[in-house]
Amino acid sequence: MKQLFFFLLLVISLSSCQKIMLRYYGVKQPKEETASSLYDYLRKKIAVDSQQIAHFAGYQQYAEFGPEAPEVYIFNREGYRLRYKPDSIDCSGGLTLFLEEWEQMDKLDIDSSLQLSDWTPFFQQAFSQKSYSMAEDSDYVFFIFWGKFMGRINQSAYDWYEQIEAINAKGKERLELQMIAVDPIEGWEKPEK
């Protein structure tokens, strides 16, 4: 009888595992946000500057590119995406280990199929509503995707932000950071059905 009970408990928990995990991590239904609500939320988590917050330019751009969060894209000063993980690895968890061994940066493979100039029109700076452009004196830019509605799942994104800022503090190379919100934004034109 005891074995049957544990078997049934296992079947029930596995069949609804996703909902339980989402609730455990505090994931909520996305709601429309503003630049201020995103900034206020992030400031409680990390020492982010308002110029480091961006979001998709609209529903169409989100539909075309919306990655899962947390996720990270890295571009070099020439505007090429750098691969820090093999394509077969789905998550960005390896970024933490990669950042601990920062000297590997020169050994990364370049993905010439994705250039920064083709990619940045998808996003807008949260407060200025302008497209992102990399500063001339930057060596690399990191785009960290996160979502206010994602609760504790964002912890990886916050950890990456802190790691990258620590590398920046050492002063060897200049790294830019953009925290790209995957939340819908108030004022986006609603897509036609």
What is the block-wise mean pLDDT of the chain (193 residues), using blocks of 10 residues? 46 44 62 93 93 90 71 90 66 65 75 88 88 87 90 87 90 89 88 71
Give me 84's structure tokens: 């820090």
* The residue to which tokens 């920062």 are assigned: 102
Question: What tokens does 83 get?
Answer: 């691969």
pLDDT at position 62, please? 81
Residue 88 within any structural domain of the chain = yes
> Cα(144)–Cα(156) distance, rounded to whole angstroms?
10
Q: Return phi, psi of residue 77, to 5°.
A: -65, -20
Q: What pTM value is reported for the model?
A: 0.79
**C-alpha closest to that of 150 among 127, 184, 174, 124:** 184
Q: Measured between alpha carbons, how far is 97 from 104 in angstroms, rounded to an integer?
A: 11
The predicted pLDDT at position 54 comes to 92
Tell whether 124 is covered by a domain.
yes
Give a yes or no: residue 186 inside a domain.
Answer: no
Number of domains making up the chain: 1
Its domain, for residue 112, covers 2-181
C-beta separation of 46 from 158 below 8 A: yes
Q: Say what the pLDDT of residue 66 is.
A: 63
Residue 190 within any structural domain of the chain: no
Q: What is the pLDDT of residue 119?
A: 84
For residue 188, being part of any structural domain is answered with no
- Is 189 within the bounds of a domain? no
The pLDDT of residue 79: 93
Residue 76 counted as domain residue: yes
User: Is 187 within the bounds of a domain?
Assistant: no
- Tokens representing residue 156 in the block: 């990886």
79 phi-psi bin (left φ>0, alpha ψ -120 to 50, beta other) = left
CA dihedral sign of residues 144, 148, 150, 152: positive
